[in-house]
Structure 1
Amino acid sequence: MEYLIIFLLEFQIMNKTLITLFCCCCFLAASAQSKKSLLRNLEKNAPDSFLVRFKTTKGNFDVKVYKDWSPIGATRFYQLVKAHYYTNMYVFRSTEKYAQFGIQNDTALNRFMDKKTIKDELATHSNQRGIMAFATGGIDNRTVHIFINKIDNRRLDTMAHSKGFPPFGRVVKGMEVVDQFYGAYKDTITFKYQDAVMKYGNKYLEEHFPGLDKIKKARIKH
């Protein structure tokens, strides 16, 4: 009987290990597939204009993108949306001035895209309320982080460290949805914990910053 109990315990441990390994393999396979999808879509060229529907936990909003505003930025955004990059993603920054998102739950993709920077462009349109642009923290380092201006932020049109934050689109429907994103944490995550979120994904935000709203998905309407 004692040997039987030991055997059963060992079998349970082995079974759990196999399940864990299987889940890890599935995650790695999904991550690799997502990376392949991104690589394919990073070669695509954006049309002159297009409309993107964002579905969120607060409702839907639509963004009209104009390529001539920011050819490089609009093209990168088009590529990311086509690759379904903005899916299951928390709005980790929501203040009276901005709403920002762009960190994937897939941490391997975060590391991958963090190196896929694009060149700066001049801001040809002003960062007014409802305007969307890429976030940047230095010269030529725009990647995947998007912000929406909740007020007029014209100071962002020219910045000392870059050519400003060039808009590429405007919220044309559902700005009231953006205004409702959970904002209790304000800039805390951005300035203190962003690296941890990049490393651990959604589970870190869910554990330490409950209540955040989420981008369920973003898809091109036409």
Structure 2
Amino acid sequence: MIKKLFCAALLCLSTSSWAVDIQPNNLFPKVEMNTTMGKIVVELDRDRAPITVDNFLTYVVKGEYDNTIFHRIIPEFVVQGGGLDPKLQEKPEMKPIVNESGNGLSNMTGTIAMARDSEPHSATRQFYFNVADNERLDPSSRRWGYAVFGEVIQGQEVLMKMSQVKTETNTVLEWPDVPVEPIILKSAKLLPRE
């Protein structure tokens, strides 16, 4: 009996260790996102946004972004996702993180950043891609900004195609800018170190 419990404990430990292997010593990890419109690869910047990158990768490695939708698309502004399943149900969130918007990275075309509420330290799992230069989302001396934590290194054309889909106000969510045809993030995976 003790031997079985010991083996079970080891199995749990090894499984949980794997589940949170977010390449902590890799300053520029890469994540591949397979969507219904094509593949996007992002390179993250742990040097400038360590808390944000670790948070995002924890969701990635646990499979929490798989089969979520891009629920907010505004042409020449942003493509946002990561928080809802295809039935428009909110996914579970971890604890909110500290806002790292003052890290020197700007909300320029092709960057990935954390979505949040009006409270500056409220980001959890939702992210967005900038599909225009959105410096107004950067911090200033009078306001917190939105934390950029990486950039698209492959699939920029996929992102731009996504930004042009037809949207409408969704009657379930009562949100504008929801794609008429759902765009699904089928999987997000941390790529092996090069």
Band the TM-score falls in, shorter-chain normalisation: 0.7 to 0.9
Quickly say closer, same or farther: Cα 1:132–1:81, change in 2 above 3 A: same
Aligned-pair CA distance for 1:105: 2.7
Are positions 1:89 and 2:68 aligned together?
Answer: yes
CA–CA separation in structure 2 for the residues paired with 1:159 and 1:184: 33
Q: What is the aligned partner in structure 2 of residue 180 from structure 1?
A: 161
Are positions 1:221 and 2:185 aligned together?
Answer: no
Which residue, out of 147, 152, 157, partners 1:166? 147
Secondary structure of 2:167's aligned partner: coil
Quickly say closer, same or farther: Cα 1:118–1:90, change in 2 above 3 A: same
Secondary structure of 1:54's aligned partner: strand
Quickly say closer, same or farther: Cα 1:157–1:72, change in 2 above 3 A: same
Q: What do the CA deviations read for 1:159-195 (whole angstroms, capped 9, x no partner)?
A: 6885211211100010110111263226x45xx636x
Q: TM-score, normalised by structure 1?
A: 0.66
Count of aligned positions: 167
RMSD: 3.0
- What amino acid does structure 2 have at the position aligned with 1:185? T
Higher Cα radius of gyration = 1
Secondary structure of 1:168's aligned partner: strand
Q: What is the aligned partner in structure 1 of residue 30 from structure 2?
A: 51
Alignment gaps of 5+ in structure 2: 1-14
- What amino acid does structure 2 have at the position aligned with 1:184? K
CA–CA separation in structure 2 for the residues paired with 1:136 and 1:54: 21
Structure with the higher fraction of residues in strand conformation: 2
Alignment gaps of 5+ in structure 1: 1-35, 195-204
Q: TM-score, normalised by structure 2?
A: 0.74
Quickly say closer, same or farther: Cα 1:43–1:126, change in 2 above 3 A: closer
Please list, as runs of the form range in 1=range in 2, the aligned pairs for 1:1-222 lying within 5 A after superposition.
41=20, 45=24, 47-96=26-75, 97-105=77-85, 110=90, 112-113=92-93, 116-121=95-100, 122-137=102-117, 138-158=119-139, 163-181=144-162, 183-185=165-167, 188=169, 193=174, 210-222=180-192
1:139 touches 1:161 (CA, 8 Å); kept in 2?
Answer: no
2:70 touches 2:81 (CA, 8 Å); kept in 1?
Answer: yes
Identity %: 25
Q: What is the aligned partner in structure 2 of residue 20 from structure 1?
A: none
CA–CA separation in structure 1 for the residues paired with 2:141 and 2:67: 34
Secondary structure of 1:92's aligned partner: strand
CA–CA separation in structure 1 for the residues paired with 2:136 and 2:91: 30
